[in-house]
Amino acid sequence: MKSLRAAVAAAVVAVVAGAAFLLLRDGTAQPARDHLTVGATSTRPSVLVDVRGAVLEEFSDSCGTSRYPYLCARVRSELLAADAGLLTRGGLTIRTTVDQRLQQAAQQAVDRYVGRDDPQVAQQAMIVPGSGEIRAMATSRDEGRPLQQGGTAMVYPLVAALEQGLRQDDGFPYSDRYQAPTYQAFKNCKGENVGDPAHSVVNEEGDHGEFTTLRSGTWTADSTFFLKLTERVGLCETVEAARRLGLERADGSPLIEFETFVLGNNEVDPVSVATTYATLAARGQRCAPRAVTEIRNGSGVVRSFPPRCEQVLDQAVADAVTGVLAEALDRSPLKSLGRDAAGMIGTADDHAAAWYAGYTPDLASAVGLGGTLTEKMIDVTIGGRRYPYVDGLSIPGPIWRDSMAAALEGTPASAFTKPDPGRFGGCRTACAAQ
């Protein structure tokens, strides 16, 4: 019995002065560290830092209280795609691609034209061509919302046309109305007939002369011209050009392949649109957009996100598209940025959304504005100004111009590569005389 009592005594835990000890056989006591119940510990919150390592804000899964809700939502989606567990881990330092100077330039331009209390939402994304790094994500309110792409989608049949050998002055006789001649006039990538002879599209801009070319149709964002061009080069070829450049639907579902694809019936996000234009700026090199480059904890790097780039378009074709878009910008009320720049306006059906997308060799940007599909921007007040209607030049264009000018101020100007006149100049197969 004595030996049993001794064995039990050796394992008794005594509480002395608030600490747990083990009584040993010799009567001495030592802390029972391996037997302590560990209480709840507080983990420091995760933080977002900018491209230079300066803290932007604390990061939480909800983004509800974020100062940068559009950016926060993007970071959340990238972490979710990589590892959902990263969303709930504390103590992480999440290095983003954001440049606070460019972020401020974008946000100030958005706030200049769209009020925080306006029912419409303006969104802008700035992306570096050749790397996919998102330098700024600004919004007038909340995390942003998907918008119909509108006429900024007209660049995709332009790409397909120049790939197929058309030249900048090839075109068609002008028509202010378009109707598909047959159901077979448009085939999706499954080979299904999706033409709609019962549907007609009317140009709102009026007479454009007797003949519309790739260049002049782009200058005026001519809807009927681009429907005829899509019929000629192929709907599937147009959709595939968009996919290669980086276009994706905001909800992650496949692109909708209707006859009116070129008029921007897909709901997209400015990051996706800016990516496609950045691909042109990078002379056909598409880089996946990314807002996060690296995640660290106290022990070092947890995960890195390197660039993912691929050459998806012939450089000469990209240069030819850029040449047309540069002329479109120079002929618009926006004029130039004092350096090489290219761009395209876009307005969705019934003014449900309006866009401007454009780029320099070093920075691409897309601005989208809209409400819900039932909120048409006709006879509206936005940012304290009354508009009979809102198109790409009313609000998105000035936001793009002001933000890009501020973002590029003080940086060296780069030049576009000039289009090859022997390959793309003049007309060849669809000239005015034919």
In the block, residue with structure tokens 């077979």: 184
Lowest mean pLDDT among 26-30, 399-403, 409-413: 26-30
Q: For the chain, which domains are there?
A: 2-35 (no CATH), 107-290+301-424 (3.40.710.10)
Please give the pLDDT value at position 364: 98
State mean pLDDT over 228-248: 98
User: Bridge-partner residues for 124, per DSSP?
Assistant: 138, 367
pLDDT of residue 8: 37
Residue 206: what pLDDT? 54
Separation CA 39–CA 199 (nearest Å):
69
pLDDT at 205 exceeding the cut of 70: no
Q: Could you read off the pLDDT of 247-269 as tens digits, one per residue?
A: 999 999 999 999 999 999 999 99
**What is the arithmetic mean of pLDDT over 228-234?**
98
**pLDDT for the residue numbered 18:** 38
pTM of the full structure: 0.88
What is the pLDDT, as a whole number, of residue 16?
A: 35
pLDDT at 207: 55
Nearest CA-CA partner of 271 in 373, 143, 375: 143
For residue 117, the SS3 value is coil
DSSP code string of 94-107:
EEE---HHHHHHHH
Q: 266 CB contacts (<8 Å, ≥6 apart)?
A: 148, 149, 153, 247, 249, 255, 256
Distance, CA of 95 to CA of 44 (rounded, Å)? 16
Q: How confident is the model over 313-324, as pLDDT tens digits? A: 999 999 999 999
pLDDT band of residue 410 (cuts 50, 70, 90) is very high
Task: Give percent of the chain with pLDDT exceeding 70.
Answer: 88
For 422, phi and psi rounded to 5 degrees? Answer: -70, -30
Query: How confident is the model at residue 228, as a pLDDT?
Result: 97
Whole-number pLDDT of residue 434: 53
- Mean pLDDT of all residues in the chain? 89
Average pLDDT over residues 84-109: 95
Per-residue pLDDT band for 302 (boundaries 50, 70, 90) equals: confident
Dump pLDDT digits (tens) for 368-409: 999 876 779 999 999 999 999 999 999 999 999 999 999 999
Sheet strands (E) in 243-400: 267-268, 285-287, 292-297, 300-304, 309-311, 342-347, 353-359, 364-370, 378-382, 385-389
Which strand ranges, in their side-by-side order, compose the sheet holding 134-139?
134-139, 121-127, 364-370, 353-359, 342-347
- In the prediction, which pLDDT does 30 show? 47
8 A C-beta contact, residue 373 and residue 293: no
Q: How confident is the model at residue 204 (pLDDT cuts 50, 70, 90)?
A: confident
What's residue 208's pLDDT? 61
Query: In angstroms, rounded to a whole number, what is the distance separating the alpha carbons of residues 132 and 364?
Result: 10
Q: DSSP label at 193?
A: B
Report how far residue 253's alpha carbon sits from residue 247's, in angstroms, rounded to the nearest whole number.
12
pLDDT at position 122: 97
